[in-house]
A and B are shown apart, each in its own frame.
Chain A
Amino acid sequence: MSDNRLSVFKTYKLYVGGKFPRSESGRVYEVTDSKGRWLANAPHSSRKDARDAVVAARKAFGGWSGATAYNRGQILYRVAEMLEGRREQFVREVADAEGLSRSKAAAVVEAAVDRWVWYAGWTDKIGQIAGGVNPVAGPFLNLSTPEPTGVVTVLAPRTPRSWAWSR
């Protein structure tokens, strides 16, 4: 890493249906650090981008919810493995974008990795805890099985630091 070398910036994009498109709007907004310095341009998603994302999620729902709980657990655990492997990158990005110290940023990333591991273990247990055979008073069999909701929309808060490592 010579001092003369110019580093390569990352183009941040959307993630929709397994692909990394730019926003349909063609627009971006500036992401700055806590001191207002420019960090990167992020795609400024439009309503159409949101619709495309929901359509992609709906399309994937059958396959994902139909996969065995074991298989889903393996994939969640894989995410934890990959996140751990890219720990340094995420610590840097969290520190820059959220204005955290390195050690606090590391704690945020570590908590995120462990959270993936925690839910990797839940996939094949939730059915036994939330479901079961109901002891009905009659000659019929009655089962309860928790089922997934469907497509879920998640809105991340503007200042994640208050909750991300509070647990």
Chain B
Amino acid sequence: MASAFEYAPAPESRSVVDIAPSYGLFIDGEFTEAADGKVFKSVSPSSEEVLSEVARAGAEDVDRAVKAARRAFEKWSALPGSERAKYLFRIARIIQERSRELAVLETLDNGKPIRETRDADLPLVAAHFFYYAGWADKLDHAGYGANPRPLGVAGQVIPWNFPLLMLAWKIAPALATGNTVVLKPAETTPLSALFFADICRQAGLPRGVVNILTGYGDAGAALVGHPDVNKVAFTGSTAVGKAIARQIAGTGKRATLELGGKGANIVFDDAPVDQAVEGIVTGIFFNQGQVCCAGSRLLVQESVQDEVLDALKRRLSTLRLGDPLDKNTDIGAINSAEQLSRITALAETGEAEGAERWTAPCDLPSAGYWFAPTLFTNVTQAHTVARDEIFGPVLSVLTFRTPDEAVAKANNTQYGLSAGIWTEKGSRILAVAGKLRAGVVWANTFNKFDPTSPFGGYKESGFGREGGRHGLEAYLDVR
């Protein structure tokens, strides 16, 4: 569908954010170089422009950071909860104040549209700190016994798809419960975590309570394996999650793992089609599909398949792909060349295995990493594109005839993170939701998040919950 009206470019200004040419590690309240002096570059995935050069942490830096966190732990955990709460409220407020700066920074470093960082990521980040700030002096009321104690030093490793939001999910509950933190952001998106370090300083957070180590998987492995880390929190791929589980087995370290997913979005024949189409689009094309709880499998009832797919293709043809800083952009850049090649390879496998590929008609920019919204029809449950997490803007469409068949197909996966149900019938929502083996089930909506709502997986999507009252348990000594 050619657009009758062209949009004028509406880019958000970059001038709101000042990115330094280089950054150090944030250890014990100070920015410092890596012990061996190593650095790496952070690249903007939409232009391949080098944004900054950051220190690359090694084992020695991990040890320094864990020692700083350990030193800070005694005082921090002994503070009255009401005082810890006030630090977290300060952080939440500073994030709100600096939200436009952080949104632009996140868009530059990650490649996701400014509309998402501005309207989803940043408001949720601030809300998460507000929510857990309120818990810090109310832990007695959380249902984990009187005066529940923190675990100690938390080693946290987060992914690149929601850099600052994943940081908030990890750091806010850890600090509220009295733990201290060493966090490693992903190597392709280190910048917002370093800006967060500056926010900790503005908030007057005591030294060593939060330490940020930028680096690669080797730093993550060293952090997870450090003998003085009491708690490991990881969000990322199932393969790395399994490796972490093996690495810490028998050490007594507590762990929460939030891993991959292959969410089923189930559309029944009585669903309002236009609404469902919007939900399908949000489910798999939000953040270019680089979402662990993405609704990457569409299960549509056979009788409405044509209607839904026609409406879906029409809608996908209107999505605007391009400059992530443009306020009209719907689809931004893929986070890295590596991720793009993974998505491309899996899509090719889909074609080779006989699924029918449809790609939204849109021009891809010449620089940067891009993948047009794509869907596969004629997909069976045996196809790779129906089984493996693609982590990109690729939707696999399957059909079903009865609710039982929908449930069986939705559950036929190694994962169990999310699912969606689209129907006008309330009783069907409750009946189907109860049978789905998924940590989050959305009804007549998708990808809705709130700090009060726990999130986490079944099966190979991991264990432990983040968010809500339930999210406190992962950081308290409840054994």
Contact = CB atoms under 8 A, between A and B. Distances in A.
B91 to A, nearest CB: 13
Interface residues of A, number: 17
A154 interface: no
Contacts of B141: 125, 129
Contacts of A129: 141-143, 469
Given A77-B89, A117-B82, A128 B468 contact: yes
A125 B135 CA distance: 8
The dominant DSSP class at the A interface is: helix
B130 A74 contact: yes
A128 B452 contact: yes
Interface residues of B, number: 21
B137 A121 contact: yes
A121 B133 contact: yes
Interface string B131-142: 101111110011
A79 B456 CA distance: 35
B408 interface: no
A141 B82 CA distance: 37
Interface string A56-85: 000000000000011001100100000000
Interface string B418-462: 000000000000100000000000000000000110000000000
Contacts of B89: 77, 117, 120
B82 A124 contact: no
Interface string B70-98: 00000000000010011001000000000
A140 to B, nearest CB: 10
A80 B133 CA distance: 14
A124 B137 CA distance: 14
B166 to A, nearest CB: 20
B430 A141 contact: yes
B430 A122 contact: no
B82 A73 contact: no
Contact of B86 (A73, A117, A128): A117
Interface in A59-113: 69-70, 73-74, 77
Nearest to A78: B93
A106 B10 CA distance: 51
A114 B82 contact: yes
A87 to B, nearest CB: 14
Interface of A: 69-70, 73-74, 77, 114, 117-118, 120-125, 128-129, 141
Interface of B: 82, 85-86, 89, 127, 130-131, 133-138, 141-143, 430, 451-452, 468-469
The 6 closest A-B pairs by CB, nearest first: A121-B134, A128-B469, A124-B452, A114-B82, A129-B141, A141-B430
